[in-house]
Structure 1
Amino acid sequence: MPHYEQQYLDLMRQIWTSGDERVDRTGVGTRSIFGATMRFSLADDAIPLLTTKRVYWKVAAREMLWFLTGETNIRPLVEQGVHIWTDWPLDKYRKATGEEIDRDAFEARIIADDAFAAQWGDLGPVYGAQWTNWPRYEATSDGLYRRMAQGHNQIAELVEAIRKTPGSRRLLFTGWNVADVPDMALPPCHMTYQFHVANGKLSGLLFQRSCDLGLGFAFNIFGLALLTRMLAQQCNLEPGEVVWSGGDVHLYLNHRELVEVQLARIPSGTPKLRIVRSPTSMFDYRIEDFEVFDYAPQASIAAPVAV
């Protein structure tokens, strides 16, 4: 039976050898295909971590926990040594001020200076804001609409729906809020999640409008699997499988070395993830609650992020 990661490597090879070469938003250029699907089992504690390169799964887990807080400022991330969202506000700061500050110095100011963090560390209404505080409005006496202080907590509502109506076809949440997209540092790539209960098992599906297969996918699929496991635990279900579906799936042209090195490697091993504590809600998990074992990946492969 082929290793679960082989479908990822096959997709990478397909895109690199026959994808449409195109100019993209970043100006770097990509090779791209439209429409791809992969499936990964979560049985027996399985977790779809890539083994042909090291995936820093704790960084991905910290990002997921940050999303669930509803936070949109990078400060809590950089305080934990997580840098994956820094490039966007850093680029904005450099363009606005002309100051060629490096990432470490920028993050140090974000941590040390409340006002600086408020002005330059906020990403706009990105994932966490939409997931836990989707805007809702109420009519006013003059016939207009006013935004309410508390929006929809899509995650809390999803947990309730899975518990009460497990057969529903509406077990989903999304980050693609058309009205808010222009104010986001980066519109949601992993935009819509849907869940399905069958035979006492919860499965999760992610539709991703845009996927950087070389860098982003490893975090995206781990995040989907982790979130599915957390939801299953909260709803007293067993985890089933995760299904990943990508719209524009691409490799950046400056990732040639990453692609060639990774495609030369052979996947191996069956990493596991265990949740060692059962928190009272989806919003009470801590990084210490997650344990990954039997994970022996090959060396990490560095590649630039296109902003």
Structure 2
Amino acid sequence: MNKVDKEYQKLGHYILENGAKKEDRTGTGTISTFGYQMRFDLKKEGFPLLTTKRVAFRLIVSELLWFLKGDTNLRYLLQNNNHIWDEWGFKHWVESPDYSGPDMTDFGLRSQTDEEFNVLYQEQLTIYQEKILNDDEFSKKYGDLGNVYGKQWRSWEGADGQVYDQIQYIIDEIKRNPDSRRLIVNAWSASELASQLLPPCHYAFQFYVVEGKLSCMFSMRSVDYFLGLPYNISSYALLTYLIAHECGLEVGELIFTGADVHIYSNHIEQVKEQLSREPRSLPTIKLNSEKKSVFDFEIEDIELIGYDPHPTIKAPVAV
């Protein structure tokens, strides 16, 4: 039985039945609950990519590799047709003195209800994407998202003035001392929040080694149940597979711990549709065994096998 979709659906029902209505930064409104945990056995249950709707695995892979490269600029993602982060960079541009196009105030909400505006928005977004890809100066200024995940994971700046590669530390420490209780990566840097276009939602994770298996628990301050969480679950599962591969371990458990777990008010019907669907068998993944280091992997080195989900369910992103 596919317990991954079942646990995910259980959480969806819980939020709808017990959540409180809350306003939020985006102005969209949510149904929210505080504090929830899910556990997935990566070894027994298959790769945790939801089957009750199609989730774009290639986007998960390219985003994770972007983090692992220590990159914070959108160009790599756009080169790989990944648009997960576009809206935050676009917002930075249209709110700057350098922008002279049509008014894009509240573009996230307006594009959902005003067809005429949506045409203008899509035109400006395309201009933005092309400039990120082809204009080095523009890309440097408006394609960089600030000190987000890639920077924190690979180039954490300490109070001592030193720069720390947290991912390399984790790998080295697992190999040296697998029983360590300090296998932690932290992406929440209070002194750098102002320099991040979106402060980290999944802000910390910790590994645990026992009986030759690597488990991972990741913690999130803010959880978009419908759009974000399916990607987060699969991304941290993939990270666990990659770290285990380099360290000569099998995979164990993936544990999600969420603080403010919410459904946006304009996602409720989509959530109900997904909750009505029967889970299918989970896929598996295959890593290129010739790649030894986590940092050597490219998109084509990670193969998804046997994925047969229900159709995609579209919903707007709250920016």
Q: Normalised by the shorter chain, which TM-score bucket? A: over 0.9
Aligned counterpart in structure 1 of residue 126 of structure 2, from 101, 104, 118: 104
CA contact (8 A) 1:272 1:294 kept: yes
Shift in alpha-carbon separation, 1:278–1:221, aligned structure 2, 3 A: farther
CA deviation profile, 1:191-243 (whole Å, cap 9, x unmatched): 11100001011111101111101000111000110000111011111111101
- Given the alignment of the two structures, is residue 243 of structure 1 paired with residue 255 of structure 2, yes or no? yes
Aligned counterpart in structure 2 of residue 155 of structure 1, from 157, 160, 167: 167
Give the counterpart letter for 1:69 in structure 2.
Answer: K
How many residues align? The count is 297
Q: Please give the root-mean-square deviation of Cα atoms over the aligned residues, in Å.
A: 1.4
- Given the alignment of the two structures, is residue 213 of structure 1 paired with residue 225 of structure 2, yes or no? yes
Write the mapping of 1:176-187 to structure 2, written as runs, cut at 5 A: 176-187=188-199
Give the counterpart letter for 1:130 in structure 2.
Answer: Q
Give the distance between the partners of 1:279 and 1:174, measured in 2 at CA: 26
Give the distance between the partners of 1:278 and 1:50, measured in 2 at CA: 28
Give the counterpart letter for 1:38 in structure 2.
Answer: M
Give the counterpart letter for 1:58 in structure 2.
Answer: R
- Given the alignment of the two structures, is residue 28 of structure 1 paired with residue 28 of structure 2, yes or no? yes
Give the distance between the partners of 2:2 and 2:152, measured in 1 at CA: 38
Give the distance between the partners of 2:282 and 2:294, measured in 1 at CA: 27
| SS of equivalent to 1:54 | coil
Give the distance between the partners of 2:220 and 2:268, measured in 1 at CA: 23
CA contact (8 A) 2:101 2:124 kept: no
CA deviation profile, 1:97-151 (whole Å, cap 9, x unmatched): 252452222101111111111111110000000000001355xxxxxxxx45xx1
Please name the residue that 2:117 is paired with: none
Shift of 1:45: 7.9
| SS of equivalent to 2:15 | helix
Q: How high is the TM-score relative to the length of structure 1?
A: 0.93
Give the distance between the partners of 2:45 and 2:172, measured in 1 at CA: 24
Give identity over the alignment, percent.
41
Q: Select between 65-74 and 277-286 the one with higher mean Cα deviation.
A: 277-286
Write the mapping of 1:1-307 to structure 2, written as runs, cut at 5 A: 3-43=3-43, 46-96=46-96, 97-100=99-102, 101-136=123-158, 138=160, 147-148=161-162, 151-307=163-319
CA contact (8 A) 2:77 2:83 kept: yes
Give the distance between the partners of 1:3 and 1:160, measured in 2 at CA: 33
CA deviation profile, 1:245-278 (whole Å, cap 9, x unmatched): 1011000001122112111111111211111234
Which ranges of structure 2 fall in alignment gaps of 5 or more residues?
103-122
Shift of 1:77: 0.6
Give the distance between the partners of 2:291 and 2:69, measured in 1 at CA: 15
| SS of equivalent to 1:102 | helix
Q: How high is the TM-score relative to the length of structure 2?
A: 0.90
CA contact (8 A) 1:173 1:192 kept: yes
CA contact (8 A) 2:208 2:214 kept: yes
Shift in alpha-carbon separation, 1:102–1:257, aligned structure 2, 3 A: farther
Shift of 1:48: 0.5
Give the distance between the partners of 2:246 and 2:306, measured in 1 at CA: 25
Indicate the structure with greater helix content: 2
Give the counterpart letter for 2:32 in structure 1.
Answer: S
CA contact (8 A) 2:16 2:31 kept: yes
Give the counterpart letter for 1:289 in structure 2.
Answer: D
